[in-house]
Structure 1
Amino acid sequence: MAQITAALVKELRDKSGAGMMDCKKALGENDGDIEAAMDWLRQKGIAKAEKKSGRVAAEGLVAVASNGTTGVAVEVNSETDFVARNEQFQTLVKGVAGVALENGGDFDATNAAEYPGTSHSVEAEVTEAVGTIGENMTFRRSAGLTVSSGVVSTYIHNAAAPGLGKLAVLVALESDADAATLDALGKQLAMHVAATNPASMTVEELDPAAVEREKAVLVEQARESGKPDNIIEKMIVGRMNKYYQEVVFVEQTFVIDGETKIKKVIENAAKDAGTDIKLAGYVRLEVGDGIEKEEDDFAAEVAAMQG
């Protein structure tokens, strides 16, 4: 068997754009033959996938999965919405969500875990799908919530298929109340989160830097009105309370009835159930959130072609 040297691995890596370990394996499988190893990488979809990996994948799908007391949400991206409607891609995303559920939503554990029906990892399955479907794809993120007693409700806004869509929400409710009752409440709260995108669950959990920035803006606005400092101080208290009601989940007004604060909605539900209900957490994943998309300038492209 030929010796697989570092120089040989580097040569194949430069030629294929594939990862070092993939190149080493390819050379090992092909007795050090560069051309055969290159063909092997292409057959596996690895070389093709690596070359596509620089392209922005900001479309795709989110998926949810739950077993009652644990719920997860995952995001898998593609380059185009057309691929997001592809049955093979949808099956892939559902599969990733299922593995995430087994791993409590932990991203690294999910990525490294075996993909169902294969002998390789989720990460390798996504790479393989790049080669077969023909677009760059990434398993971007996952999140999970677990309660010891109660439910983790899931919600998909504008579902593309069961459990799949562009916006996913999880809401965790800790309680001994009837599971069906809790899940109905959880789904309504999840719809609220989908609509309002709160910055935090409670005032205490708000980013301190964001709070200070808001205060600074409000103080400056009040000073420009010529009010004395003692009046400004009172004004800021009221305006900050209004700010909290806009961005904090439990302080927001419930979108479904338009008048009750979320914390009161939960209190009322607990009273009806005859037992405590605690909002234990929420997750909101929206496809492409935070990804900088490339904007194509078609006119400039045509002009460049004309020289």
Structure 2
Amino acid sequence: MIAGRIFRYIHTNNSLWQASNKALLSELRRKTGYTFANCKKALQLHENDIKKAEQWLMDQAQTLGWSKATKLEGRATQQGLIAVVVHENHGALVEVNCETDFVARNKYFQSLVATTASAALKYASTIAGQDPVNKASLDSDTLKQLPASDGKSLADHSALVIGNVGENLCIRRALCVNVKDGVSLAGYSHPAPATPSADRVGKYASIVAFSATEKSEQLGRQLCQHVIGMNPSKIGQKGIDEPNPVPDDETTMIYQDFLLDPNITVEELLNNSRAQVLDFARYEAGEAVDAAQDLKTVEMCG
């Protein structure tokens, strides 16, 4: 009887121990996203201290990511996503590239895009200048050195994601914008996300700075949609810029047919809304950057 009780005691404690370990393993797996095998190893090495195990996994992934980043460097990154984020009087457009559209849909990659957008937005809030619209273009090298909210550089975050997805990535470029009081900023991406959020992500995105007698989020959104769909080359000034004699080839914004109502031009839309476009920018994932653009030329990665 005594032996039976001891056996049942050992068996019960062993079951409790296994259940406890499985709970820790599941929690660590859920928090980090790494494989069960790696999470189990991390817990074993750190005597089931989940905080130490999580840190060890992150450190290992970082090391592996830098190693993979070095090996994959030079591989073309023509896919990716554009994010636009606007907060009060400042905003940012960012582009992050990857090798395949499959990885562009990966949660780790999309998290990197959001992290990059947040870092660029913070930088935008520091831009100094007395003009109604002040902006700064950041190339890949500059952008990667920006700190994320956890204090690590975007380059470190990129290496971590490379370790997870096994593809070359490139934090390619950003445009940071800061506007003065009386000027509104709007951002839009296409395809539009199913759930609206502070960070809009898609294959295309635009940001528009405009002034209006009455503040209108709808007008800002519509102007951004027009910029994405019609890709104007400049705003244009009445009396200085003449409309193109061939309407189908019009690239000056004020003379273009308004995307959402081709019966009027953008100029007519602005007059009816008592508004004025002061500046705009449009990003398309994987596009070649024209040196003639107002933005700083950014070299393609890979």
TM range (shorter): 0.5 to 0.7
Q: Say which SS state the counterpart of residue 148 (structure 2) adopts.
A: coil
Contact 1:49 1:128 in 2 (8 A): no
For residues 90 and 154 of structure 1, the distance between their equivalents in structure 2, rounded to whole angstroms, comes to 18
TM (norm. structure 2) is: 0.63
Partner of 1:47: 67
3-state DSSP of counterpart to 1:247: coil
- Offset at 1:145? 2.9
CA offset at residue 184 of structure 1?
1.1
In 2, the alpha carbon distance for the partners of 1:135 and 1:50 equals 11
In 2, distance between residues paired with 1:167 and 1:189?
14
- 1:100 alignment counterpart: 120
Calculate the aligned-residue CA RMSD, in Å: 3.1
Identity %: 31
Distance 1:124 1:115 in 2: 9
Asked if the contact 2:61/2:160 (under 8 Å) is kept, the reply is no
The farther-off stretch of 108-117 and 98-107 is 108-117
Q: Distance in 2 between matches of 1:52 and 1:114?
A: 23
Preserved CA contact (<8 Å) 2:81 2:203: yes
Aligned twin of 2:3: none
Deviations 1:180-208 (A, max 9, x none): x2x2101111111111111222269x9xx
Higher relative helix content: 1
Report deviation, 1:279. 0.9
Write the distance in 2 (CA, Å) between the matches of 1:64 and 1:128.
Answer: 23
Answer yes or no: is the 8 Å Cα contact 1:244–1:251 preserved in 2: no
Cα displacement (A) at 1:244: 9.4
Q: Partners of 2:110 and 2:68 in 1: how far apart?
A: 21
The 1:259/1:41 distance shift into structure 2, 3 A limit, reads closer
Is the 8 Å Cα contact of residues 61 and 164 (structure 2) preserved in structure 1? no
Q: 1: CA distance between counterparts of 2:269 and 2:62?
A: 56
Separation in structure 2 between the aligned mates of residue 194 and residue 152 of structure 1, nearest angstrom: 15
Instruction: Tell me, yes or no, if the aligned pair for 1:41 and 1:47 is still in contact at 8 Å.
Output: no
- Residues 57 and 137, structure 1, Cα contact 8 Å, conserved in 2: yes
CA distance in 2, matches of 1:92, 1:42: 14
Aligned residues of 2:143 and 2:171 also touching (Cα < 8 A): no
Residue 184 in 1 paired to residue 215 in 2? no
Q: Does the C-alpha gap of structure 1 residues 129 and 190 become closer, same or farther in structure 2, counting only changes over 3 Å?
A: same
Q: Report whether the alignment pairs 1:264 with 2:301.
A: no
CA distance in 2, matches of 1:200, 1:241: 17
Q: Is the 8 A contact 1:100 1:106 kept in 2?
A: no
Unaligned 5+ segments in structure 2 are: 1-59, 125-135, 290-298
User: 1:17 — aligned with what?
Assistant: none
Distance 1:142 1:173 in 2: 20
Q: Which runs of 5+ in 1 are unaligned?
A: 1-39, 212-236, 271-276, 294-307
Aligned residue pairs, count: 214
Please give the TM-score of this superposition, normalised by the length of structure 1.
0.62
SS of equivalent residue, structure 1 residue 88: helix
Cα distance in 2 between the residues matched to 1:200 and 1:42: 43
Q: Deviations over 1:92-112 (max 9, x none)?
A: 101100110111164255432
Aligned residue for 1:45, secondary structure, equals helix
8 A contact 2:257–2:264 mirrored in 1: yes
- Tell me if structure 2 keeps the 8 A contact 1:106–1:143: yes
Alignment deviations for residues 240-295 of structure 1 (CA, whole Å, 9 cap, x no partner): 4436971111111112111222122111101xxxxxx32111111111112899xx
CA distance in 2: counterparts of 1:69 and 1:42, whole angstroms = 35
Secondary structure of the residue aligned to 1:62 is strand
**Does residue 227 of structure 2 align to residue 155 of structure 1?**
no
Offset at 1:132?
2.3
Task: Measure the CA separation in 2 of the matches of 1:127 and 1:203.
Answer: 45
Match among 113, 120, 125 for residue 146 of structure 2: 113
Report the secondary structure of 1:98's partner residue.
helix
